[in-house]
Amino acid sequence: MRVLVSVDMEGIAGVVDGVDVRPGESEYERNRELMTAEANAAVRGVFAHAGSAEVLVSDAHARFRNLLPERLDRRARLLRGKPKQWGMLAGIESGVDAVVFVGYHGKAGSAQSVLAHTVNGGVFADVRCNGTSLGEIGLNAALAAHHQAVPVLVAGDDTVAAEAGGIVPGIHAVVVKRALGARAAESLHPEEACARIEAGVPDALRDRAAVRPPRFGDQVQLEIDVLSPGMTELALLIPGMERLDGCTLRYQAADFPTAYRLVQLVSVLGSS
């Protein structure tokens, strides 16, 4: 069995504010340790289910250089640095059987959700594929499904657990904190969060046949709502991109991976 563990930071137990997740801020270094600990809990859970498993850990936050390599479970292999093919789901093309999402968060616009955003909080208000609104959990679950991998578990706050349940029926969820607002939460102790993730992964892997991730065939209509009209002007540099109004873009993609990459590209343009 080959398992990919994709690790973001906003959904880690104890994390509640932008200063917790931004390199250079006072809280960031401590929260890197908490992020690495939850990643290790997921890795231990995979090996508890399948001792001969291969585990890839993809650093999926910001510039993808957050996890502490020397603290990561030595049985796992780490994908870090940017750009990486397939971004947050780097490694998915290498014959992965299942995907575990750790430290994930709600999509842009989610009510009372800790640090909610989609891909780039300074760029996107919403992302839709064939009319379905997708946050990071939905986009990555659909990409996993395209590559014949099953998204089996998400760990984060209660809002991303509810979002995942709606877009990926059958996925398991480990709630490590309850959102009290955009920058407030009632959180488990980090060690308890890790214990629950480690215990939840084997059950999720055993139940993977029951998961029904979103699937998209050929010709995916991608629509992106950006936060400012100036962003649409940059995105129109992409051949085939259309502007529907001041802040809404549309692109007719040949398949879902193409749509996924277009989202990444607009994010990069928005950060320039």
pLDDT tens by residue, 100-138: 999 999 999 999 999 999 999 899 999 999 999 999 999
Q: What is the mean pLDDT of residues 210-231?
A: 95
CATH for 62: 3.40.50.10780
User: What domain count does the chain have?
Assistant: 1
The yes-or-no verdict on residue 272 having pLDDT over 80 is: no
Looking at residue 191, its pLDDT comes to 98
For the residues 207-219, what does the mean pLDDT come to? Answer: 96
Other Cβ atoms closer than 10 A to 182: 18
Structure tokens, 72: 């990561």
| pLDDT for 258 beyond 80 | yes
Q: Which residues of 35-61 are buried (b: 16+ CB within 10 A; e: fewer)?
A: bbbbbbbbbbbbbebbeebbbbbbbbb
Residue 57 resides in a domain: yes
In the prediction, which pLDDT does 189 show? 98
- Cβ contacts of 230 within 8 Å, gap of 6 or more: none
> Would 235 be classed as within a structural domain?
no
In a domain, 241, yes or no: no
Mean pLDDT of 137-143: 98
Q: State the pTM of this model.
A: 0.97
What domain range includes position 20? 2-107+136-210
Is there a domain that residue 95 lies in? Answer: yes
Q: Average pLDDT, stretch 19-24?
A: 96
Residue 252 lies in a domain: no
Is residue 17, in this structure, part of any structural domain at all? Answer: yes
Query: Collapsing DSSP states into helix, strand and coil, what is residue 141?
Result: helix
Q: Does residue 13 belong to any structural domain of this protein?
A: yes
Within a domain: 75: yes
Q: How far is CA 91 from CA 71, 112, 143, 184, in A?
A: 21, 32, 11, 33
Average pLDDT score over residue span 57-82: 97
- For the sheet with 124-129, list strands across it: 132-133, 124-129, 220-226, 248-253, 242-245
Report residue 123 as tokens: 């760029």
